Structure 1
Amino acid sequence: MGKKLLLLDVDCGVDDAQAMMMALAAPDVHILGITCTHGNTNIENVCKNVLRVLQLCNRMEIPVYRGAGISLLGERLHDPAYHGKDGLGDVPDPNAPGLEHIQAEHAVNAMIRIVNKHVGQVCLVAVGPLTNVALAAKMDPTFPTKLKSLYIMGGNMEARGNVRVCSEFNFVTDPEAASIVLSHFTCPTHIATWEYSLRHRLPWDFFRQWVNQNTEKARFMKNITALTTQYVKDDQGNKELFFGEGFVSCDSYAMAAAIDESVVTEHAVYGVSVELHGSLTRGMMVLDTLDLLKLKHKAIVFLKCDMEKFKQLLVNAVK
């Protein structure tokens, strides 16, 4: 058996960095490229952050591509309180690589080229707004059929929002893109939702041990998560939103499943769509639990996670 071929599409904030490091540490994974999209911070910062993680992990040979800087409708949503203005906790590295290391090819063109070169073999892991992925499907209508699988971090199961009343950040940042992806992609589509992430948060005891290991990667993790950790702790009076205490590495849940599908111990299969028009519900992922929409393609929605396997992938990431 060869290595799993992954293509990563990220809006590199703190949890994207964690997810990337998880994949970079996995011995049976080969990352074909990393495409950047707007989201947790602006596109320039996203590109810089990806390069910063690759330099830390001594993996600068992996090509990085700049993609969409705004949503399909020209909007941009960013809350610096959680990830910091720069997306990585506002702890800059004077030795970070510059944007000259970004490939000249646009991310969407690179996606299409890479998948056409490895038809039926590539798992696309999309952990930011889905703008690049939707554009790839529009530019090459065969693109959605040529992936081995698609892993998404985004959407919600119970109309619980995190930046809007009923909407999760990655989907509401570009609802049209999320709608295109969920309606056009016919490959197996796996979704780690906001509620799935919250229900499998990392206990603080584990988190402290994880970031306090005596390695360069662990020290990096401790630095970039300091702002986020404080933000989360300050907000945890709202138990209804957070389902208890702990750290949530949202994007890592989708990445972990792409690396090792046995990490997900229970899932449901539903038709899914995205609300585009509601004044309160725009960007909300809608689960067709009664199959009333008769959607041909169904998504695999994660319900339960093997936390010991998940934790081990995180531990490996900072060795």
Structure 2
Amino acid sequence: MAKKLMIIDTDCGIDDAQAIMMALAAPNVHILAVTCVFGNAAVDNVCQNVLTVLSVCERQGIPVFRGSAVPLVTVYDHIQDHFGSDGLGDVIKDKDPKWEEKIQKEHAVNAMVRLVSENQNQVSLVALGPLTNLALAVRLDPHFPQKLKDLYIMGGNMEGKGNVRLCGEFNFVMDPESAYVVLEEFLCQTFIATWEFSCRNALTWEFFEELMNQDAPAARFMKMITSKCWAYSKEAMKNKRDIYFGPGFVSYDSYAMAACIDGSVVTESVECPVRVELQGSMARGMMVLDRTDELKKSHSVSVFSKCDVARFGQLLMESLRQPGIK
């Protein structure tokens, strides 16, 4: 069977690293490129983080491209502390001084447009950060979305609950205009793993301990970068995510990646048009689901609501058992 062609667009924080490892471990996936965008960290940190993940998994041959450093319209409001200032928990001491030499010279958006044009209707684009690179891609090539096989997004919300704003999820709040452009103009088959979906399908903290304590380089790396990060602390979550959803371990970006790798992971979805709110002090960046056809839009997306948590956990386990025997 031919492998699924994939481009990963990422703002590589800790959960992005987990999702990238999941793709690297999937035998049915061929990663054409990793494109970088600001978000969990500045874009230069994101590039370094991606290179580090690929090195840990011994997959340095995958090309990495630097993309957008700021949002499409607004000022970059960097929320510093979620995964540390560098995006990977501020625990990596020996940074590669020659990392820039390993980044491709071509801009991420140009590379994205080129690779999709060369492989029309074959590429799955998995977007794990703010959607700035995708919005720019459709401006460079208005036919870019229809050349994709499909699009998987981790971002937005479906219940009006937020994690960085009262009603807003991080990736969409970081660049609401780009999220708006993508969900209005990408008419390809689109799947969305929202913040609430991820949280409602959490794994246990006991599973987290088992996951991190596997004897493999990837597992040891993940254990290190989560070791001092409050976002991976059971105690720290009690007054944050747990208030909405109860206790549990959540690897946000991994849900969108798992769905792309194995569609059977998602067991229930809502099919409807969506729109991103651009106004308001509390609702800016919120994704609105239109289940009563108020917007009169012709294009619907699949918003995930339930998943096979056991299968998802299996994919996470496999992601940290690398690099394995080739």
Q: What TM-score do the two structures reach when normalised by structure 2? A: 0.95
Q: What is the aligned partner in structure 2 of residue 268 from structure 1?
A: 270
| Inter-partner Cα distance in structure 1 for 2:33 and 2:259 | 18
Paired AA for residue 295 in structure 1: K
Q: What is the identity, as a one-letter code, of the residue corresponding to 1:235?
A: M
Alpha-carbon contact 1:266-1:303 (below 8 Å) kept: yes
- Three-state SS of the structure 1 residue aligned to 2:295 is coil
The root-mean-square deviation of aligned C-alpha atoms, in Å, is 1.3
Mean Cα displacement is larger for which, 59-68 or 210-219?
A: 210-219
2:261 pairs, out of 259, 273, 279, with 259
Unaligned runs of 5+ in 1: none
Question: Is contact 2:232–2:249 with CA below 8 Å preserved after alignment?
Answer: no
Gaps of 5+ in 2: 322-326
Say if 1:234 and 1:302 are closer, same or farther in 2 by CA, change over 3 A: same
Contact 2:192/2:256 (8 A) holds in 1: yes
TM-superposed CA distance for 1:239, in Å, is 6.3
Distance 1:12 1:300 in 2: 24
What is the match of residue 196 of structure 2? 195
Deviates more, 1:225-234 or 1:182-191: 225-234
The CA distance in 2 between the partners of 1:171 and 1:229, in whole Å, is: 19
2:93 and 2:274 map into 1 onto residues whose CA distance is: 41
How far apart are residue 217 of structure 1 and its match?
Answer: 1.0
Deviation at 1:80, TM superposition (A): 2.5
For 2:56, the equivalent position in structure 1 comes to 56
Change (3 A) 1:239 1:24: closer
Instruction: Indicate conservation of the 8 Å contact 2:153/2:191, yes or no.
Output: yes
Query: Which sits farther off after the overlay, 65-74 or 221-230?
Result: 221-230
The answer on whether the counterparts of 1:89 and 1:228 sit within 8 Å (CA) in structure 2 is: no
Cα distance in 1 for residues equivalent to 2:49 and 2:180: 27
Deviation at 1:228, TM superposition (A): 3.7
Give, in whole Å, the separation in 2 of the partners of 1:260 and 1:229: 27
| 2:30 alignment partner AA | H
The 1:75/1:160 distance shift into structure 2, 3 A limit, reads same
The answer as to whether partners of 1:81 and 1:231 remain within 8 angstroms in 2 is: no
Q: Distance in 2 between matches of 1:175 and 1:143?
A: 20
Q: Secondary structure at the match of 1:77?
A: coil
Matched, 1:67 2:78: no
2:140 match: 139
- Say if 1:38 and 1:239 are closer, same or farther in 2 by CA, change over 3 A: closer
**Aligned AA for 2:129?**
G
Contact 2:9–2:37 under 8 Å retained in 1 = yes
Judge conservation of contact 2:21–2:320 (CA < 8 Å) in 1. Answer: yes
Give percent identity, aligned residues only.
56
Q: Structure 2 counterpart of 1:293, which letter?
A: L
Q: Relative to 1, partners in 2 of residues 1:310 and 1:240: Cα closer, same or farther, differing over 3 Å?
A: closer
2:14 matched residue in structure 1: 14
Counterpart contact for 1:236–1:242, Cα < 8 Å: no
**Aligned positions, number:** 319
